[in-house]
């Protein structure tokens, strides 16, 4: 067994990759939220001059991929791999953005866990000696997701209070084998769990057990307690999912402090009528590349565990009466 592997699900990097920079683009609603000062670009509207929301999402993601290289002062052509994913069928936002960027591309689908997944796999590529620089990205758009998963926004359908608001946003980090910045020190790849939740408007309830399972396995594999981290933050459980997560962890005997929160809870103000909070691949992507990275860079916090949470359902499966499988992928980021 490799010394990099710890326990059942965790790897510890011998040469932890460095986050050289992060870059994000968000929509106007996100730009009115509590984290507005941590975003690199805020769009004036949800189209941003494009003919469709899907084209807007592709452009947002492409922009983060190129701008993060500029921000890090790294030639784009020197980057070895481009890892990205989104919510749309056949991950078209990522595929078309990667077409424009022109780097060797690995498309990923982990639903809203994709930013955690891309970061974990990017770190593995670098620590394994297969790359020196990797882009790790994810994106979503409120209106593209609504059109695909639920109903056209033009219908004005009433949303239940358990529903979350898909973030319009894209985020990219640039990982490297050397340089200055916080490091990705370990990763815990999650298992798919399904406890029979069938309500696609209550994804927090579906995802909370999978996130809890990943946190518990991460702590067990590394023999750590939650207070090792200054911040433990899930991807997009929202307010309902976060409360369920805390309850599951408490019942599992894990001693928690007040360092556990959620990207979907932080990104919007409660007055913004988002019901249970934010969701979507872009949720954890923009919070990581903005809010979290800034706190690490200023040393306000030094150890973070980010758990990307994914609801792995589709309209096809839901319409056939299937329940919602979920997953959580964790990455530890430390100064």
Residues 303 and 266 in one domain: yes
Task: For residue 151, give the CATH number of its domain.
Answer: 3.40.47.40
Question: Residues 89, 68: one domain?
Answer: yes
Residue where a domain terminates, one of 143, 160, 176: 176
Residue 170 · residue 25 · CB < 8 Å:
yes
d(CA 153, CA 268) in angstroms, rounded, equals: 19
Range(s) of the domain holding residue 237: 183-334
- Segment (H or E) for 23: strand 18-26
For residues 171 and 267, membership in a common domain is answered with: no
When pLDDT is cut at 50, 70 and 90, the band that residue 255 belongs to is: confident
**Which of 176, 200, 227 represents a domain boundary (last residue)?**
176
Please name which of 245, 156, 185 lies closest in space to residue 17, comparing C-alpha atoms: 185
The better pLDDT of the pair 286, 146 is held by: 286
pLDDT in tens, 102-114: 999 999 999 999 9
Give 179-200 pLDDT, tens digit per residue.
Answer: 999 999 999 999 999 999 998 8
Count of domains observed in the chain: 2
Phi-psi category of 163—alpha, beta or left, where left has phi over 0 and alpha has psi -120 to 50?
beta
pLDDT at 155: 57
Examine the domain organization and report whether 216 and 235 are in the same domain. Answer: yes
Q: Which residues contact 313 (CB under 8 A, 6 or more apart)?
A: 200, 206, 322, 324, 325
Predicted confidence band of residue 319 (pLDDT cuts 50, 70, 90):
confident
Average pLDDT, the chain: 94
* Residues of the chain above pLDDT 70, percent: 96
* Final residue of a structural domain among 176, 196, 223: 176
Same domain, 223 and 249: yes
* Rounded distance between C-alpha atoms, residue 158 and residue 189, angstroms: 36
pLDDT confidence bin for 3, thresholds 50/70/90: confident
Q: Is the pLDDT of residue 1 over 60?
A: no
What pLDDT, on a 0 to 100 scale, did the predictor assign at position 268?
96
């Amino acid at each position: 067994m490799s010394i990099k592997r710890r326990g059942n699900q965790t790897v510890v990097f011998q040469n932890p990759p460095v986050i050289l920079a992060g870059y994000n683009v968000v929509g106007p609603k996100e730009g009115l939220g509590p984290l507005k000062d941590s975003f690199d670009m805020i769009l004036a509207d949800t189209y941003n001059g494009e003919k469709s929301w899907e084209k807007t999402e592709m452009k947002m993601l492409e922009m983060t991929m190129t701008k993060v290289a500029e921000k890090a002062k790294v030639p784009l052509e020197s980057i070895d791999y481009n890892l990205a994913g989104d919510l749309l069928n056949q991950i078209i936002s990522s595929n078309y953005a990667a077409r424009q960027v022109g780097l060797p591309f690995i498309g990923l689908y982990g639903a809203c866990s994709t930013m955690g997944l891309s970061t974990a796999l990017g770190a593995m590529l670098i620590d394994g000696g297969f790359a020196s620089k990797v882009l790790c990205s994810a994106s979503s758009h409120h209106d593209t997701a609504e059109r695909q998963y639920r109903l056209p926004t033009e219908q004005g359908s009433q949303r239940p209070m358990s529903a979350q608001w898909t973030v319009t946003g894209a985020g990219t980090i640039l990982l490297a084998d050397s340089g200055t910045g916080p490091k990705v020190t370990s990763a815990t790849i999650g298992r798919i769990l399904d406890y029979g939740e069938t309500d696609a408007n209550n994804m927090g309830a579906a995802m909370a057990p999978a996130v809890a399972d990943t946190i518990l396995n991460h702590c067990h594999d590394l023999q750590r307690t939650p207070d090792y981290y200054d911040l433990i933050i899930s991807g997009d459980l929202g307010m309902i999912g976060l409360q369920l997560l805390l309850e599951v962890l408490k019942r599992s005997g894990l001693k928690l402090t007040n360092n556990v929160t959620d990207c979907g809870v932080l990104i919007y103000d409660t007055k913004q009528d988002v019901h249970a909070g934010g969701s979507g691949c872009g949720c954890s992507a923009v919070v990581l590349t903005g809010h979290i990275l800034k706190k690490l860079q200023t040393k306000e916090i030094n150890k973070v565990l980010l758990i990307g949470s994914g609801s792995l359902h589709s309209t096809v499966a839901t319409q056939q009466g299937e329940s919602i499988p979920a997953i959580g992928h964790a990455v530890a980021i430390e100064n």
